[in-house]
Amino acid sequence: MEYNTGRNHLVIREYGRHIQKMVDHILTIEDRDRRQKQAGVVIELMGILNPHLKNVEDFRHKLWDHLFLISDFKLDVDSPYPIPTREKLMARPEPLSYPRRYPKYAHLGKNLELVINKALKEEDGAKRQGFANAIAYYMKLAYNNWHKDQVQDDAIQQELTNITKGQLEFTNTGYVKAYRPTQERERDTRGGYGGRQNNNRKFGQRGGGGDRDRGQAGQGGQSGQRNDKRNGPGGGGGKNFGKKRY
């Protein structure tokens, strides 16, 4: 009996032990034409065993690369694709150059600094003012991300003056306004979207339920009186049932 501990290492587990044994057998074939034909048969079998590879671009190229990898790059056959080598497989890719940007104002980011530089180079007064308003609006958004309190326009203008050395000023305060998430909460609590109606319905149900409870209590009292009459001295209950039943 053959155990896994005595077998050679599986190079690619997805293809299984039988494919690896077939590749090892191809290595022992001396006739090149026959070896080439058997290699093509193994490629077809590898594609059948892994149909998900058909969705991959150039999946047959991948199958041939896997075939040479399973044979430990010892298989001498012709391939329709460039034959891979061990050196190419083990080679490390070159490190990618990561763009390093060091913003002067980290809490605002590098992009805002680029926009400010573009605004300072703008010669048109209307566009320059639009840049200033947009920059101030973004500064308010950045401030609200880190603070719960509402920022004042004077603080934004002072910081913008420090950054641009007084070259940019925003004046359109109606456009540059901070976003308040509490406005929607106040609208919901006021009942603007049916809050009052829902509450009135709830209280109406409670009131109606109370009337029904009182009606049931009255019916219970009447039935108790009838039971008392039945169980009384002149009723049909007899002496044993003369007491009141609760």
- Mean of per-residue pLDDT scores for the chain: 75
User: Which pair of tokens denotes residue 6?
Assistant: 């005595």
- Whether the predicted pLDDT of 156 surpasses 50: yes
The string of DSSP codes covering 34-91 is HHHHHHHHHHHHHHHH-GGGGGSTTHHHHHHHHHHHHTTT------SSPPP-HHHHHP
pLDDT at position 122 = 86
- Whether the predicted pLDDT of 141 surpasses 80: yes
The string of DSSP codes covering 80-149 is SSPPP-HHHHHPPPPPPPPP----SSTTT-HHHHHHHHHHHH---HHHHHHHHHHHHHHHHHHHHHH-SS
Looking at per-residue pLDDT, the higher value among 159 and 208 belongs to: 159
Q: Is the pTM of this model over 0.75?
A: no
Compute the average pLDDT of residues 200-216. 50
Of all residues in the chain, the percent with pLDDT exceeding 90 is 16
Distance CA 215, CA 223 (A): 12
29 pLDDT tier (thresholds 50, 70, 90): very high
- Whether the predicted pLDDT of 207 surpasses 50: no
- Whether the predicted pLDDT of 18 surpasses 60: yes
- Whether the predicted pLDDT of 28 surpasses 60: yes
Distance CA 71, CA 57 (A): 23
Low-confidence winner among 25-34, 54-63, 64-73, 76-85 (lowest mean pLDDT): 54-63
Do 243 and 227 meet the contact criterion of CB atoms below 8 Å apart?
A: no
Compute the average pLDDT of residues 218-233. 51
